[in-house]
Structure 1
Amino acid sequence: MSVLHESKVKNVGLTESNLLSLSFGRIIRKDIDAVGGLLPESFETYQIVEPNHLVFRFTDLQNDQRSLRSARVTERGIITSAYVSARPSGIDPRYAEHLMRSYDLTKVFYGLGGGVRQSLKFSDVARLPVVLPPAEEQRAIADYLDRETACIDTLIEEQQRLIDMLRERRFALRVNVALHGTAPTEEIESTLPWAAKLPADWRVVPLTSVAEIASGHTPSRSREDWWRDCHIPWVSLHDVGTMRSVKYLHDTTQRISDAGIANSSARLLPAQTVVLSRDATVGRTAIMGVPMATSQHFAVWTCGPDLDPEYLWVLFGDAMQPFFDSFQNGSTIRTIGMGDLKAFRIPLPPLDEQRRIVECLDEETAKIDSLIVETERFVQLAKERRSALITAAVTGQIDVREVT
């Protein structure tokens, strides 16, 4: 790439303080005073970049094949020396930006970083061939792509806002129905800190009066036979990501043996037990679809005849989330203690109303979830269209003179 030349101008003497960063394929400003852990002197090691420089992030190629790794600078500033900065010469900078984005999207850089290498230097890409049309056509391609991709980006942003709105509507719906029921009724002031009012015929009860609480337990890891050839699902922090998107857990990342249960404080809990994470990622919840055991990072409730497990799951997963947030403490490990968990109080509608609430929310949130999935698919197609358009334009598959 003789049209790009590496630039290595250090910020010696802190001559520049406009801190920039590469984020989602764009160069953005960052507040230099808000960067934690960096002393002012450390910014002397940063490199100065000028408008129209191209910046590349050639690190972690093996582990991250989704990020956009190139962008064009629009203002003078400083950027980490972990990035590669290149100055265009003999090529339109905007065309170069789109051309490098095409290389990025078609995974050219990953092919160069094969084997055990997880990073590239500029010298590793310096001899890449480039498509170099006449200067006038470069500008025409850049004008066309600037215009067309801006339209697509606007459309994507609108759809992303729609997704955010739908998720907010979903959450609000679930909280409202969980705390107010499926039909209008007389309400009274609530004694719960996370519910202002509740239907007058609902009770507020200690959770332990309608469900048995227990803490999970992690048997010794030194006993390999407890963790080998196992068949009992064992809920651990590896499963909290799954708990974001499911009501029922039917399998787990790890399993434990009968011997591990029999020779430790771990308990085999029945299906329909409600599990809640209380460490690190606080407030994730699910219902055991089959008998399971859990690590000490979870609390579990086996519901009695007056409490539907799915209603408790709705309370934990939505209505009580602000309450869980108020209990989080610690800078690295955030925990809700068993004493606090045992003190939980919940609204208790009549059992038939609990079931109506669950049925209503299943039906209504399914409609919203379907809209979210459709919108996310639309966004994905728009991104694919954007990528294909860039590649087609910079490789001459589109005659931009006929579409301008």
Structure 2
Amino acid sequence: MFAVRSEPALPTDRMLTASQKYGVLFQSDFMELEARRVVEVIMGTDSLKHVEPDDFIISMRSFQGGIEWCKLRGSTSFHYVMLRPVKHVWPPYFAHLLKSPTYIQALRRTTDLIRDGQELRFSNFAQVDLPVVPLDEQKAIAIFLDRETAKIDALIAEQEKLIARLAEKRRATISHAVTKGLNPYAPMKDSGVEWLGEVPAHWDIVRVKALSQFTTSGPRGWSDRITESGSLFIQSGDLNDSLGLELETAKRVNVGDDAEAARTRLSEGDVVVCITGAKTGNVALCESLPEPAYVNQHLCLVRPSEDVHGRFLALSLKSSVGQTQIELSQYGLKQGLSLENVRELLVTRPPRQEQEAIVEFLDEEAGKLTALALNAAAGVSLLKERRSALIAAAVTGQIDVRNA
């Protein structure tokens, strides 16, 4: 049914990328969509292979999302395997079959070294039996699935737009509350900061260092002390997107009885900011600690002053105003934040009682928006499950689509 295409790239071929997210597209289009560059292969080398429309491409991620149907002519890296249809193949039908959950699971079972970065080869593909379906039935199934999955995809898109709108409204609600307050009639003053605008006249505009007892980061070298037991060791991945810490999944570390350990130990009410890596700028509040916990070197620990509500500070840093400053602190080739960058961030400082009122308001209002978003996300999950089940049933002949 399929054979390997191994023709060298033509001088006129454009480079293609096989993506689980977008399918097969030109590499330049992929970089534009992702707003990042990928490793480019110099044309004219032996490492490029020619691809024809209706070929199927096995990529290094096919064990996660199946095999991609190509509708373009171009070239790809030698890391990919090109499958050329030979007979009994209607490409739109196999586009669904080769990305169905049942097929992906079967493909995974052909190797036990996927997690070590082993590339999938034609030999893996050949180990999975494919159904031989009459072409007219393949066409009928493909037409049915194209129509029905388009309906489901439209519903998913609506829910995802709703989730995006709710997230934007949540961000706007937080930003307005921490910069303008809750009283719409309060006298205002110019903050003196162009991107902040007016703030309540009785509020102060200060830097993080002015409202914290101290700021520090975790010790270097403690990753060598990670163990099955010991104290909690909080790392970047333990900060969730809701100002919380995932203590249940945190690693553990052996801690010595020294000044460095005392300096980096978390206390309830501390604010934690990720200062390096993909989660740079993420913020969490340490609300409760069932046992001792310490931060690693990629996190900044901010201990608020007595007149500062830790959750108000965390919300301020997580707001669009705080995140804009964090983005501006990273420029050119500079990635990540220094402790000084965090200390110099500007935030508002209302009276303590007003901070508490704002926190209470945001917990209620943002909580409502979060609940709506979670309901929408649950709906998306159900729709995706239905989509997968529909494809699996149709491509294996469990649904009679002739009159559907």
Scaled by the length of structure 2, what TM-score is found? 0.85
Distance 1:180 1:150, change over 3 A: same
Determine the structure 1 residue equivalent to 2:158: 158
- In structure 2, how many angstroms separate the alpha carbons of the residues matched to 1:258 and 1:119? 40
1:260-304 CA distance string (max 9 Å, x none): 445767343432122223333432222222354333433333323
Please state whether the residue corresponding to 2:100 is helix, strand or coil. Answer: helix
Deviation, 1:322, is 0.4
What is the 5 A alignment of 1:128-277?
128-184=128-184, 185-192=186-193, 194-218=195-219, 221=222, 231-239=230-238, 242-247=239-244, 253-257=250-254, 259-262=256-259, 266-277=263-274
Amino acid at match of 1:236: Q
1:26 corresponds in structure 2 to 23
% identical equivalent positions: 27
2:308 is aligned to 307
Encode CA deviations 1:301-354: one digit per residue, 9 max, x unaligned: 33233211111111111131101111125637422342x444444311122211
Contact 2:9/2:75 (<8 A) preserved: yes
Give 2:124's aligned residue. 124
Alpha-carbon offset, residue 121 of structure 1: 1.8
CA distance in 2, matches of 1:78, 1:5: 17
Q: CA deviation at 1:112?
A: 1.0
Aligned-partner Cα distance in 2 for 1:285–1:265: 22
Deviations 1:355-384 (A, max 9, x none): 111111111111111111111111111111
CA RMSD of aligned residues (A): 3.0
Q: Call closer, same or farther: CA 1:25–1:19 in 2, change over 3 Å.
A: closer
- Contact 2:220–2:297 (Cα < 8 Å) also in 1: no
Matched to 1:365, the amino acid is: A
- Which deviates more from structure 2 when the two are superposed, residues 14-23 or residues 159-168? 14-23
- Structure 1 Cα separation of the partners of residues 223 and 327 of structure 2: 35
Q: Kindly provide the CA deviation profile for residues 121-159 of structure 1, in whole angstroms up to 9, marking residues without a partner as x.
A: 213322533222322222111111111112222222222
The counterpart of 2:100, out of the listed 99, 102, 107, is: 102
Q: How much has 1:258 moved relative to structure 2?
A: 5.6
Q: Residues 305 and 78 (structure 1 numbering): CA distance in 2 closer, same or farther, change over 3 Å?
A: same
Q: What is the count of residue pairs matched by the alignment?
A: 390
Q: Deviations over 1:201-231 (max 9, x none)?
A: 212234444321231341654996xx66864
Judging changes above 3 Å, is the alpha-carbon distance between structure 1 residues 136 and 353 closer, same or farther for their aligned structure 2 residues? same
Using the size of structure 1 for normalisation, the TM-score is 0.85
Question: Helix, strand or coil: the match of 2:164?
Answer: helix
Deviations 1:15-58 (CA, angstroms, capped at 9, x unpaired): 3125343333622232189655535336652222222112222x
How far did residue 392 of structure 1 move?
1.1
Question: Gapped runs of 5+ residues in structure 1?
Answer: none
- What is the rounded CA distance, in whole Å, between the counterparts of 2:245 and 2:158 in structure 1? 33
Question: Cα gap change, 1:334/1:103 in structure 2, threshold over 3 Å: closer, same or farther?
Answer: closer
